């Protein structure tokens, strides 16, 4: 009888231990599943946040592009149209008036109209120029660029012609001139 009691006791202990192990494993499995579910939810949220951030960045870039369009004058040889260009004091007008061969490039005449009531000195701008393809689209690989400072005084309500040499492109290859980042260093107003 004592032998049967020991066997029963041993059997109960083994069952009890295996039951505890089963409960522990079950709890670990539940916690693992919960952690996996939370991880998947976090990954999903991160993905959504990244998509929203990309959308915000794209909207901001588009806004900046639209905002900067009025600060660029895109001029085409042979066109008699002037282009308004915004700068730190207001608006100027720019026209590509003439293109002639010059040494290793082209000499262009830009006609700049000062519609302000003040004379401007020390006007600076960045110029980009290059070729266009058969559809009139700029070929960016051939684009050249330089910053110019004009020595002329731009009197109020007048057109002023300025000459700029564009190196490395003949007049028959010149497809566009882009004027951007216009700044001035001084204004002249009438005295009392």
Confidence at residue 13, expressed as pLDDT on a 0 to 100 scale: 53
Instruction: Encode the chain (192 residues) as per-residue pLDDT tens digits.
Output: 555 555 555 555 555 555 544 556 677 677 777 788 888 888 888 888 888 888 877 777 666 665 677 889 999 998 888 999 999 899 999 999 999 999 999 999 999 999 999 999 999 999 999 999 999 889 988 899 999 999 999 999 999 999 999 999 999 999 999 999 999 888 888 766
Confidence at residue 18, expressed as pLDDT on a 0 to 100 scale: 53
Confidence at residue 130, expressed as pLDDT on a 0 to 100 scale: 94
Produce one character per residue of 45-76: b if its CB has 16 or more CB atoms within 10 Å, e if not: eeeeeeeeeeeeeeeeeeeeeeeeeeebbbbe
Confidence at residue 16, expressed as pLDDT on a 0 to 100 scale: 54
Compute the C-alpha angle 37/41/45, nearest 5°: 170
DSSP codes, 93-152: EEEEEEEEEETTEEEEEEEEEE-SSSEEES-EEEEEEE-B-TTS-B-GGG-EEEEEE--S
Confidence at residue 106, expressed as pLDDT on a 0 to 100 scale: 96
> Domain 73-188, CATH 2.60.120.1440 — does that match?
no
Confidence at residue 34, expressed as pLDDT on a 0 to 100 scale: 78
With beta carbons less than 8 A apart as the criterion, state whether 129 and 166 touch. Answer: yes
Confidence at residue 158, expressed as pLDDT on a 0 to 100 scale: 95
Confidence at residue 17, expressed as pLDDT on a 0 to 100 scale: 52
Residues belonging to the chain: 192
Confidence at residue 11, expressed as pLDDT on a 0 to 100 scale: 53
Q: Where are the domains of the chain?
A: 27-69, 73-188
């Amino acid at each position: 009888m004592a032998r049967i009691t020991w066997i029963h006791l041993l059997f109960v202990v083994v069952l009890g231990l295996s039951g505890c192990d089963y409960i522990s494993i079950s709890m670990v499995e539940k916690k693992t599943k919960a952690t996996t579910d939370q991880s998947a939810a976090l990954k999903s949220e991160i993905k959504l946040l990244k998509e929203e951030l990309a959308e915000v960045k794209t909207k901001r870039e588009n806004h900046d592009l639209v905002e900067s369009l009025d600060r660029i004058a895109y001029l085409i040889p042979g066109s008699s149209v002037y282009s308004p260009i915004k700068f730190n004091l207001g608006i100027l007008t720019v026209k590509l008036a003439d293109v002639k061969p010059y040494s290793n490039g082209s000499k262009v005449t830009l006609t700049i109209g000062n519609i302000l009531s003040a004379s401007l000195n020390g006007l600076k701008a960045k110029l980009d120029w290059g070729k266009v393809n058969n559809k009139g689209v700029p070929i960016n690989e051939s684009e050249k660029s330089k910053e110019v400072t004009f020595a002329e005084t731009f009197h109020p309500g007048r057109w002023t012609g300025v000459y700029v040499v564009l190196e490395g492109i003949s007049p028959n290859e010149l497809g566009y001139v882009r004027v951007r980042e216009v700044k001035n260093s001084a204004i002249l107003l009438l005295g009392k």
